[in-house]
Amino acid sequence: MRSSTLLLSVASFLLGGITLVQGACSAVSGVRMTFYGYPDNSPPGPATAYNCGGRNYVAGGTGTYANPLTFASAPGEYAQCEIIYSSYLKKYIRMEDSCGQCTTDWNSGIKHIDIWTGSATSNGGQSQINCENSLTPSQNQQVIRSPPTNLPVDSTALYSSGTCRTSNVYNGNTASCGGGSTCQTGCSWAGHCIGCPCTTYGDCSDNYICTNSKCANP
């Protein structure tokens, strides 16, 4: 848990202690993703900066739309209690906490979210921290803002009882507001970014590869 300073957008409004974001669904690429939990929260424990969905400032969630997983980011990068969709995790996640490194990155033009793992009642120690590092992708990933509620969900806990589930992440996966894959923007060759159609390796921009007829991270 970090500073709870919040910059609200004009498109947000406050209702019952929860900030609801109104706007069109959109895919956002180039998002740095890291993970945190009980042992490396500040201070250690499950406390969050914001009270979302009646959780009383306690991190949690399974990743469904009804029970989104906690994430932290820079105040102002996302609205308080905003629900987004992580294509990398196939989970809905909710902005319930602030993050010092995310704030530093955001001020430097880097999109960064820190996603909760593990229990809200027990400290997983170094084993959990090692798991968080293993879950962290080397490439940036995609999120969906104002997502539809019916995107694919993997509600498997990322860290539980000493088990790290690195097989339940989906590197380079993309989703769209219609529920399928989407052709992202922001790479050096427009129309050949992550999620765009391809037939050979040379059809993809930057260091992306052609996998299952879509450009993706290697």
Domain borders along the chain are 12-175, 183-218
pLDDT at 69: 98
Q: CA-to-CA distance for 129 and 127, rounded, in angstroms? A: 6
pLDDT < 50 stretches in the chain: 2-21
3-state SS class at 56: coil
pLDDT at 179: 63
Closest Cα partner for 174 from 200, 201, 139, 199?
139
Task: Determine the pLDDT at residue 192.
Answer: 86
Nearest residue to 65 via CA among 216, 182, 170, 179: 179
Residue 187: the pLDDT is 77
Amino acid 123: pLDDT? 97
pLDDT given for residue 57 in this prediction:
98
pTM of the full structure: 0.75
